Structure 1
Amino acid sequence: MQKRVIVVGGGLAGLAASVAIADAGIPVLLLESRPRLGGRASSFVDQTTGELIDNCQHVAMGCCTNLHDFCNRLGLTDLLRTEPSLTFIGPEGQQSRFAAGPLPAPLHLTGAFARLGFLTWGEKLSLAGALKALACDHSAANRSFADWLREHNQSERLMERFWSVVLVSALSETLDRIDVAYARKVFVDGFMTHRDGWTVQIPQSPLDELYGSRVTRWLRERGGEVRLQAGVAELVAEEGGPVRMVRLRSGEEIPGDEFVLAVPCERVAAVAPEALRSHSVVTSLAEIEAAPISSVHLWFDREITELPHAVLVGRLSQWMFNRHRILGRTGDVESFEYQVVISASRMLAGESREDTISRVVGELSEIWPQVAQARLQHARIVTEHRAVFSVKPGTDSLRPVQQSPIPNLQFAGDWTQTGWPATMEGAVRSGYLAAENVLGRLDRPRQMLCDDLPCSRLSQWLLGLNTNGASGAQRPE
């Protein structure tokens, strides 16, 4: 008889698990408590403008091989655009184009780093030495990256103007709260192993279209079922035995054979089978801290820059996204939307909405004088207080593997052991790994996890990296 697989949670991890299992010919029942899929990668209607806007701008990198595989399976690649370059804007307003040159990795970005006009040549040489040391340092985990940087003679100015700019955006944490291993993951996999690892892909449509309607249609075409607003109260297991059903908040009970729990880590204890709630695998999740990300959405009556996006150095804001350009809107329009991202946004706590908006608009006007002539039609702030898990030293020891202590129950979420920080790639990897466990139990073994980008021979020789870059393995331990 066909076994019934139930996935609880419609974020990226749950979607990836569902897609991987369905792709193996096994229909899935996907339960999501909210009225939309995507989890933190979702959209909503702004009531003032009537526009569908994203809760936060999401981007991917070329090194996100499993996220790209997920999009390929679903036919979503037409909704992503690859950026050939980035623009860094220094504290004094100088613009620096960041793009790869013709040399192989890790030398492909030598010219890009050399063009960073807000750094001195002495700082660039110091930066190059630290990047090489980071690539070669395999034993610095469970330490603060800020401490590591100081030990490698990185000045406070260089930490503020380069290391913090990249890592706060990538990991949404300050340097003193970042484990060296996570910093190494970003720089080695993103910048040093492969020519395409650093490239940025940006969705050209609202996230609701990217991870909502198309995914639902794809799963239903393969015999699956997606139920929205189906909040799960708990998983029910036999005493000392397997999970046997899901109990919804409505009281409805749905029996199943295999289960994937893909909810945020802070929700696991409430939903997990009662016998599992006191297990150390679950209780340790309470020690995983969260980090916030805030997005400031601004609508002006004119375009303030033709740049589709920009990295802002030494400011409250880290990224500016020109939604008018990114979404490819043409013709006469009366409003131009910009999204400004502030990662690790704890400093905004207690500050009024008006003050934050004023600070952000003020920063933009320092860079683009035309902001002073533009009329701000509408503004709003969206803060995800638990946007990502905090990559503090020691966090990895709290992250469980996908196989729970109950054989027919898998965990999925970027908070599980994936070898990655809290990213869309990490979420998809967790879903694929959970799916592999389910398929193995159903005698349908299949490898879903994709290989990392291959490490160039020059990187292997110059930096002592192996064929799989920073992690050295395709699967987490």
Structure 2
Amino acid sequence: MTTAPGRAVVIGGGIAGVTAALRLADAGTRVTLLEGRPRLGGLAFSFRRGDLTVDNGQHVYLRCCTAYRWFLERLGATDLAPLQDRLDVPVLDVAAPGGPRLGRITRGALPVPLHLAGGLARYPHLSLAERARVARAALALKKLDPADPALDGVDFATWLGRHGQSPRAVAALWDLVGVATLNARAPQASMALAAMVFRTGLLSEPGAADIGWARVPLGDVHDTLARKALDEAGVHTELSARVRHIGRADDGSWRIDTGTGPLDADAVVLAVPQREAHALLPAGALDDPDRLLDIATAPILNVHVLYDRKVLRRPFFAALGTPVQWVFDRTGAAGVTEGQYLALSQSAVQDEIDDPVAALRERYLPELERLLPAARGARVRDFFVTRERTATFAPAPGVGRLRPGARTHAPGLYLAGAWTATGWPATMEGAVRSGFSAADAALSALGRRHRHPQEEAA
């Protein structure tokens, strides 16, 4: 006698939803994936602008992002988003005494925490005394437990101040990393999430912070290859399918109304942003569903510049003493054959997310000329911006108590998304982990035997 495969519907085709659908299908469940947009990928996608293939934003991951690395492998995309052999982040300070100065954040092969000692000793953007205090703070950070609820109520800046970190050290190191990973500056960031980022990325193992990013358009990975993987797994995918209502059918199963006819399921994974989830949750699914509305969002601005010549000779760099944060060369991925295409990734930009393009052009082009002397004589062939006003959840102190787990009080209904209680900030890694949690909870309820991806990789 064989067990019925079970029916599951995953609502939302971002990274979390695709992960959940693949996990469910790999375990033998019949899966339908519903996505309201005409594509997969959520907020990590590509679009066409004339001859350019443009990513809406620059997304990177680290070697410690084991769940996202599983995701890339499952899609057959590992070679399309390779990791650095060893952490190396060029950091250019244009306000340094005597003119622009280049430094690097690097790591060695020694055990933790000695792997960072050599790079910190050579980092020119901090004084000798500041480097020593950074080292002591890092050792104190390593002793923290990010899961300690008390840390969630403290802001990162307060903790840094208590551990002797100067404003310069915060700007040149802690916020340099933290703004990019948390999408918040130290005063607005939960200490629990900051501790998780720095302990896992810099203090867990020597290669944990090695950086990877897609050398092809994000849509090639999160849409094209994701669709192929879903098809091969037997998942039925419906795009441009907006869910209107989730309720119980007469037989006790779940009924999903998309406006084109009902779908019945034994398990539902709701993998949409928190406000959409709040609108769709049936009564009683959470003790306090309104807490989802208290999870604020934070924007990310991306500035795109196409020059008529090459102005940058490294794949990326970070900047100090300027509004510019991180600059990536996306020439090859965008299909540019003449000139160079740079993408500026600007996080924690609540004060300029709605600024007109003309104002942003006036602000950022002179800054790029300060950073890149070769840009001073180059012609700008195109300048445009992409704005994600709700790019991530805001990692503010206290957010941890608002983030729900995968299980709800409604049997057979599960939540996924980077905003759920993954322990991670709003990253691609957090999204995949949420998909794991929701799918594994559903499979357990369905009586399906399954193994967690980390167990499979062991």
TM superposition score normalised by structure 2: 0.93
* AA aligned opposite 1:244: W
Q: Which residue of 2 aligns with 1:27?
A: 30
SS of the counterpart of 1:87?
A: strand
Write the mapping of 1:424-443 to structure 2, written as runs, cut at 5 A: 424-443=428-447
> Are the aligned partners of 2:109 and 2:206 in contact in 1 as well (CA < 8 Å)?
no
Alpha-carbon offset, residue 448 of structure 1: 2.0
- Does residue 321 (structure 1) correspond to residue 321 (structure 2)? The answer is no
> Are the aligned partners of 2:407 and 2:414 in contact in 1 as well (CA < 8 Å)?
yes
- Does residue 364 (structure 1) correspond to residue 368 (structure 2)? The answer is yes
- Does residue 181 (structure 1) correspond to residue 192 (structure 2)? The answer is yes
The two structures, once aligned, show a CA RMSD in angstroms of 2.1
- Does residue 165 (structure 1) correspond to residue 172 (structure 2)? The answer is no
Alpha-carbon offset, residue 200 of structure 1: 0.5
> How many Å separate the matches in 2 of 1:206 and 1:171?
23
Alpha-carbon offset, residue 3 of structure 1: 1.8
- Encode CA deviations 1:296-325: one digit per residue, 9 max, x unaligned: 011000110111000112321211001125
> Are the aligned partners of 1:100 and 1:111 in contact in 2 as well (CA < 8 Å)?
yes
Query: Kindly tell me: are residues 445 and 417 of structure 1, through their superposed partners in 2, closer, same or farther at Cα, counting changes over 3 Å?
Result: farther
- Does residue 36 (structure 1) correspond to residue 39 (structure 2)? The answer is yes
> How many Å separate the matches in 1 of 2:55 and 2:289?
31
Q: Which residue of 1 aligns with 2:384?
A: 380
Alpha-carbon offset, residue 133 of structure 1: 1.3
Q: Which residue of 2 aligns with 1:465?
A: none
- Does residue 197 (structure 1) correspond to residue 205 (structure 2)? The answer is no
> How many Å separate the matches in 1 of 2:253 and 2:12?
16
1:341 to 337, 345, 350: 345
Q: Which segment is superposed worse, 226-235 or 316-325?
A: 316-325
Write the mapping of 1:95-106 to structure 2, written as runs, cut at 5 A: 95-106=102-113
> How many Å separate the matches in 2 of 1:222 and 1:163?
42
> How many Å separate the matches in 2 of 1:390 and 1:96?
30
- Encode CA deviations 1:47-104: one digit per residue, 9 max, x unaligned: xx33221110100001101111111122110111212322111233211233322312
Q: Which residue of 1 aligns with 2:66?
A: 65
SS of the counterpart of 2:83?
A: strand
SS of the counterpart of 2:454?
A: coil
Alpha-carbon offset, residue 243 of structure 1: 5.1
> How many Å separate the matches in 2 of 1:281 and 1:447?
32
> How many Å separate the matches in 1 of 2:33 and 2:48?
24
Query: Kindly tell me: are residues 435 and 281 of structure 1, through their superposed partners in 2, closer, same or farther at Cα, counting changes over 3 Å?
Result: farther
- Encode CA deviations 1:422-462: one digit per residue, 9 max, x unaligned: 110100000001110111122113232537x99xxxxxxxx
Alpha-carbon offset, residue 344 of structure 1: 0.6
- Does residue 302 (structure 1) correspond to residue 309 (structure 2)? The answer is yes
Unaligned 5+ runs, structure 2:
none
SS of the counterpart of 1:348?
A: coil
> Are the aligned partners of 2:10 and 2:270 in contact in 1 as well (CA < 8 Å)?
yes
Q: Which residue of 2 aligns with 1:3?
A: 6
2:19 to 16, 20, 31: 16
TM superposition score normalised by structure 1: 0.89
* AA aligned opposite 2:143: C
> How many Å separate the matches in 1 of 2:422 and 2:129?
37
- Encode CA deviations 1:368-419: one digit per residue, 9 max, x unaligned: 1111100011111111111011111110100111011111111001111111
SS of the counterpart of 2:351?
A: helix
> How many Å separate the matches in 1 of 2:321 and 2:183?
15
Q: Which segment is superposed worse, 90-99 or 423-432?
A: 90-99
> Are the aligned partners of 2:9 and 2:33 in contact in 1 as well (CA < 8 Å)?
yes
Query: Kindly tell me: are residues 288 and 243 of structure 1, through their superposed partners in 2, closer, same or farther at Cα, counting changes over 3 Å?
Result: farther
Sequence identity percentage: 33
> How many Å separate the matches in 2 of 1:199 and 1:171?
17
> Are the aligned partners of 1:204 and 1:328 in contact in 2 as well (CA < 8 Å)?
no
Alpha-carbon offset, residue 358 of structure 1: 2.3
SS of the counterpart of 1:86?
A: strand
> How many Å separate the matches in 2 of 1:217 and 1:258?
23
Query: Kindly tell me: are residues 73 and 391 of structure 1, through their superposed partners in 2, closer, same or farther at Cα, counting changes over 3 Å?
Result: same
Aligned length: 445
> How many Å separate the matches in 2 of 1:14 and 1:329?
29
Q: Which residue of 1 aligns with 2:266?
A: 257
> How many Å separate the matches in 2 of 1:244 and 1:351?
44
> Are the aligned partners of 1:171 and 1:422 in contact in 2 as well (CA < 8 Å)?
yes
> Are the aligned partners of 1:160 and 1:314 in contact in 2 as well (CA < 8 Å)?
no
> Are the aligned partners of 1:24 and 1:444 in contact in 2 as well (CA < 8 Å)?
yes
Q: Which residue of 2 aligns with 1:392?
A: 396
Query: Kindly tell me: are residues 27 and 314 of structure 1, through their superposed partners in 2, closer, same or farther at Cα, counting changes over 3 Å?
Result: farther
Query: Kindly tell me: are residues 242 and 182 of structure 1, through their superposed partners in 2, closer, same or farther at Cα, counting changes over 3 Å?
Result: farther
SS of the counterpart of 2:16?
A: helix
- Does residue 244 (structure 1) correspond to residue 254 (structure 2)? The answer is yes
Alpha-carbon offset, residue 351 of structure 1: 3.0
Q: Which residue of 2 aligns with 1:468?
A: none
- Encode CA deviations 1:110-164: one digit per residue, 9 max, x unaligned: 1122222111111111111111112223353310111111111111122122211
> Are the aligned partners of 1:298 and 1:380 in contact in 2 as well (CA < 8 Å)?
yes
Q: Which residue of 2 aligns with 1:473?
A: none
1:423 to 403, 422, 427: 427
> Are the aligned partners of 1:294 and 1:343 in contact in 2 as well (CA < 8 Å)?
yes
SS of the counterpart of 2:244?
A: strand
> Are the aligned partners of 1:243 and 1:406 in contact in 2 as well (CA < 8 Å)?
no
> How many Å separate the matches in 1 of 2:424 and 2:381?
40
* AA aligned opposite 1:380: F
Q: Which residue of 2 aligns with 1:107?
A: 114
> Are the aligned partners of 1:142 and 1:180 in contact in 2 as well (CA < 8 Å)?
yes
> How many Å separate the matches in 2 of 1:226 and 1:436?
20
Q: Which residue of 2 aligns with 1:89?
A: 92
Q: Which residue of 1 aligns with 2:55?
A: 54
1:143 to 115, 139, 154: 154
- Does residue 286 (structure 1) correspond to residue 293 (structure 2)? The answer is yes
> Are the aligned partners of 1:27 and 1:222 in contact in 2 as well (CA < 8 Å)?
no
Alpha-carbon offset, residue 256 of structure 1: 1.5
> How many Å separate the matches in 2 of 1:7 and 1:350?
33
> Are the aligned partners of 1:10 and 1:32 in contact in 2 as well (CA < 8 Å)?
yes
Alpha-carbon offset, residue 198 of structure 1: 0.4
1:117 to 119, 124, 129: 124
> How many Å separate the matches in 1 of 2:284 and 2:388?
28
